[in-house]
Amino acid sequence: MSASVILAATGAVSITRRRPAAVSYDSSGRVVPPSFTDTTIVASVQSGGASRSLVHNPEGERQAQRRRVITESELRAADQDAGTLADRVLIDGLVYEVQTVKRVVHLLPHYAADVLALQEEES
């Protein structure tokens, strides 16, 4: 049985993966906001344990919605050493950022990612 069959059995849906371009800097050394490439992927979207998570920001604390995404398509979390930004996924009109991702190769290869909803000004 393939991962595609299992995803279909778990109510997989089409979502958009928004992959940022590599980090770039302007002439003054400031990070330039990235451009994104959108791709439609098939994924099983589940609540991420506690459906809300407390996020600590300099301006205070807020709650954010968490989800778990399981897919055969590659997802990436931010990697400061490699200079890559985290993928974002669009689910039910909300933008989520990939926080953690695990490549599972046992039995049926897939990616399992925890994603966190972004505030409108972050998306």
- Give me the CATH number covering residue 57: 2.40.10
Count of C-beta atoms within a 10 Å radius of residue 95: 17
Enumerate residues 6+ apart whose C-beta is below 8 A from 53.
63, 64, 65, 66, 116
Instruction: Answer yes or no: is 16 within a domain.
Output: yes
Enumerate residues 6+ apart whose C-beta is below 8 A from 47.
66, 67, 68
> DSSP readout, 72-109?
SS-----BTTTTBPPPEEEETTEEEEEEEEEEE-SSS-
Q: Which domain holds residue 103?
A: 3-23+30-117
Q: pLDDT tens across 100-116, in order?
A: 999 998 878 899 999 99
Structure tokens at 60: 């205070």
Q: pLDDT tens across 49-81, in order?
A: 544 555 555 665 556 789 999 999 999 999 988
Question: Using CA atoms, how far apart are residues 28 and 42, in angstroms rounded to an integer?
Answer: 40
Question: Using CA atoms, how far apart are residues 122 and 119, in angstroms rounded to an integer?
Answer: 5
97 compared with 83, residue with greater pLDDT = 97
Can you give the pLDDT at residue 51? 46
User: pTM of the entire structure?
Assistant: 0.77
Instruction: Answer yes or no: is 95 within a domain.
Output: yes
Counted domains in the chain: 1
Instruction: Answer yes or no: is 76 within a domain.
Output: yes
Q: pLDDT tens across 32-48, in order?
A: 888 999 999 999 999 86
Instruction: Answer yes or no: is 65 within a domain.
Output: yes
Instruction: Answer yes or no: is 122 within a domain.
Output: no
97 pLDDT band (50/70/90 cuts)? very high
Q: pLDDT tens across 1-43, in order?
A: 555 555 555 679 999 999 998 778 899 989 888 899 999 999 9
Please measure the distance between the N-terminal and C-terminal CA atoms of the chain and give it in whole angstroms: 37
